[in-house]
Structure 1
Amino acid sequence: MFLRTPAARTPVTLAAATLAVLLLAGCGQDDDPSVAAPSTTATSLAPSNAPAPTVTAVPSASASTVAVDHQITVTIAKKRVDPPTGRVTVGKGKLVRITVTSDVADELHVHGYDLGARLPAGTPGSVEFRADQTGLFEVETHDSELVLFQLVVR
């Protein structure tokens, strides 16, 4: 049989306590104001060779201070799209902002780029992205299934 004395347990206890302190110290970084928290609004400040488009997470009429190359504004009232559905052509690599105001809550979706934004009733919602893919992309609302326009990127 084998007996442990309190002196033999001290190094093990000390090692366990030290490990616990180190692990807990790493968890407290959320309280540090110098650690930047993710923003609720993402804007495209990346250069034109950026790999992924960005989306404004919070609906806003002017979500970014960066000058966009092509601003597209659409209003939906009583299931009518203004301006009427058509095609909008933009050059490849251009910074595009699509702003939609709907009289009913809905969701904006840009196919091909897989971008979307909530559209609270009466409040503009925007997506902003670099048009880095050529082709024809449908821009629509999800709930009401309205085609707003077709985006042509050349």
Structure 2
Amino acid sequence: MFVRTPAARTGATLASAALAALLLSGCGQDDDPSVATPSAVPTSAASSSAATAPTPTATGTPSAAASTPAVDQQITVTIAKRRVDPPTGRVTVSKGELVRITVTSDVADELHVHGYDLGARLPAGTPGSVEFRADKTGLFEVETHETELVLFQLVVR
């Protein structure tokens, strides 16, 4: 007959919990959230009778359907031949709004949002995005690091 002591049961319980935590953590993204890598828009699979969970997508996808919460402010910028479109100016958002900034550059670069210390890689010709809750009030520059272009100033009120 096999008898477990309370200490052995506690050890087995802790080992089971640690194993479960390791397995669950493998399902999430372990990338640094401050530098998002753009990803392709997912394609829909053929319909089947079996129910499947939706595949999580990075905030790098420009598709609005890819994010769970509704974005309050979508800001889109294009850079071509060192020209920013729309031209550099100020964009005002309200404190608490969910903001998504999507940038497409003709050269590889990195997007950076000052004050929030967020960034995204910008492969040439591929949109890169950052998405965040505007929870700090003030005036924040949004720029590229390599080409040092100011894209716009974000005003959070």
Q: Same fold (TM over 0.5)?
A: yes
| Counterpart position of 1:97 | 100
Q: Which residue in the other structure is 1:151 paired with?
A: 154
1:117 aligned residue: 120
**Does 2:78 correspond to 1:75?**
yes
Judge conservation of contact 1:72–1:99 (CA < 8 Å) in 2.
yes
Question: Which deviates further from its counterpart, 126-135 or 55-64?
Answer: 55-64
1:39 and 2:18 equivalent?
A: no
The equivalent position to 2:36 in structure 1, one of 57, 61, 64, is 57
For these two proteins, the number of residue pairs brought into alignment is: 121
Q: Which has the larger radius of gyration?
A: 1
Structure 2 gaps, min length 5: 1-11, 39-60
Name the counterpart of 2:89. 86
**2:145 & 2:111 partners in 1: Cα distance?**
6
- RMSD (CA atoms): 2.9
Q: Secondary structure at the match of 1:66?
A: coil
CA contact (8 A) 1:55 1:128 kept: no
Letter paired with 1:83: P
Query: Do the aligned residues in 1 keep the contact of 2:72 with 2:98 (CA within 8 Å)?
Result: yes
- 1:55 offset after TM fit, Å? 5.0
For the residues of structure 2 that align with 1:57 and 1:102, how far apart are their CA atoms?
A: 15
1:94-153 superposed Cα distances (whole Å, 9 cap, x missing partner): 000000000000000000000000000000000000000000000000000000000000
Query: Given the alignment of the two structures, is residue 131 of structure 1 paired with residue 134 of structure 2, yes or no?
Result: yes
Question: Which secondary structure state, in structure 1, belongs to the residue aligned with residue 91 of structure 2?
Answer: strand
Between the aligned partners of 2:129 and 2:31, the Cα distance in structure 1 is 11
Q: Report the CA distance shift for 1:93/1:102 in structure 2 as closer, same or farther (over 3 A).
A: same
